[in-house]
Amino acid sequence: MQPDRIDKKILSQLQSDCSLTNLDLAESVGLSPPACLKRVKKLKQQGYIQKQVAVLDPDAFGACLHMVVEVVMERDRLDLYQQFLKRATAAKEVKQCYQVTGEVDFVLVVTVPNMTAYDKFCNEVLYAEPNMRKFRTLISMQRHKFDTTLNLDAIPS
């Protein structure tokens, strides 16, 4: 069942600040606290809310490199892709992993503290993959936007 208008208000508020108390959340969406809590539980059960987390500022922890890595595989076989996916998604340096169409097969977003750590990641994850033909690394010079929210207005009720 698709979220209705009130569910979308709840989800929007939680995307902005998941630390809101149920009382504050209920007030902001115009529901009683019990009704709001019931809807939040339902949204979790239906899989609309995967988990609630704190988004940390990587700059607060010192130097950090963000890379976009394009990976091209040698052979186009499901079992080999799954083998690579298992290795890539298990790596703590990989923050996002996309299987894509076009000239490359996968795009990884990788975060490491320095180039030495990236070199280690390349050796343990990329070069260790026998089906990888090549990869290209784009190093982020500056992040201008980072957004974890979904555009709920684009989803029909």
Residues 102 and 131 in one domain: yes
Residues 78 and 122 in one domain: yes
Range from 70-74, 76-80, 126-130 carrying the lowest mean pLDDT: 76-80
Q: Residue 119 maps to which CATH number? A: 3.30.70.920
5-29 residue pLDDT tens: 999 999 999 999 999 999 999 999 9
> What's the CA gap between 11 and 14, in Å, rounded?
5
Closest to 115 measured CA to CA, from 78, 67, 68, 79: 67
What total of structural domains would you count in the chain? 2
Q: Is residue 25 in a domain?
A: yes
Query: Average pLDDT, stretch 88-102?
Result: 97
Q: Is residue 69 in a domain?
A: yes
Q: Structural domain of residue 16, as residue ranges?
A: 5-54
Confidence of residue 105 (pLDDT cuts 50, 70, 90): very high
pLDDT at 109 exceeding the cut of 90:
yes
